[in-house]
């Protein structure tokens, strides 16, 4: 979920495989019976402690892992969201670190392969 506040986006550093150590927006798997919006809200809260208001879908993509067969294949749906409570993140659950960064700062960080495409879209929403 692309959480935006004060012209910055919230990124988490992945604590586990796949893509351990790389930076991405908060997110994760949808639990059985859970809506996409419910999963997005839960994942942000679990990974960063930040409550948010979820808006529109702004990006859809895929993450296909390495190997033959690939070690993973995920469909990604990213919503635009805003902070509903305290904006101070703390890394928890599947996140090794969490921080607010500008789009320019994000482009300099080691990111998951799908992040550059999402950052291109986010430039329309972040001042």
The domain defined by 2-122 folds into Nucleoside Triphosphate Pyrophosphohydrolase (3.90.79)
Burial class (CB in 10 A: 0-12, 13-18, 19+), 116: exposed
Share of the chain above pLDDT 90, in %: 77
Task: Give the mean pLDDT of the chain.
Answer: 93
Task: List pLDDT tens digits, range 64-99.
Answer: 888 899 988 989 999 999 999 888 999 887 899 999
- Residue among 52, 62, 46 nearest 95 (CA): 46
Identify the band that residue 26 occupies on the pLDDT scale cut at 50, 70 and 90.
very high
Nearest to 71 by CA among 23, 13, 30, 16: 16
Read off the pTM. Answer: 0.91
SS3 47: helix
Ordered by start, the domain boundaries in the chain are 2-122
């Amino acid at each position: 979920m692309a959480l935006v506040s004060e012209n910055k986006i919230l990124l988490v550093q992945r604590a586990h495989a796949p893509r351990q150590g790389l930076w991405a927006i908060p997110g994760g798997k949808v639990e059985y019976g859970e809506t996409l919006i419910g999963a997005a809200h839960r994942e942000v809260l679990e990974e960063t402690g930040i409550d948010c208001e979820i808006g529109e879908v702004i990006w859809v993509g895929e993450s296909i892992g390495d190997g033959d067969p690939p070690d993973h294949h995920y469909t990604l749906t990213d919503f635009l969201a805003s902070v509903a409570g305290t904006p101070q993140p703390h890394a928890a659950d599947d996140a090794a670190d969490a921080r607010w960064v500008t789009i320019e700062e994000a482009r300099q960080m080691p990111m998951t392969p799908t992040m550059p495409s999402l950052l291109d879209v986010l430039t329309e929403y972040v001042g």
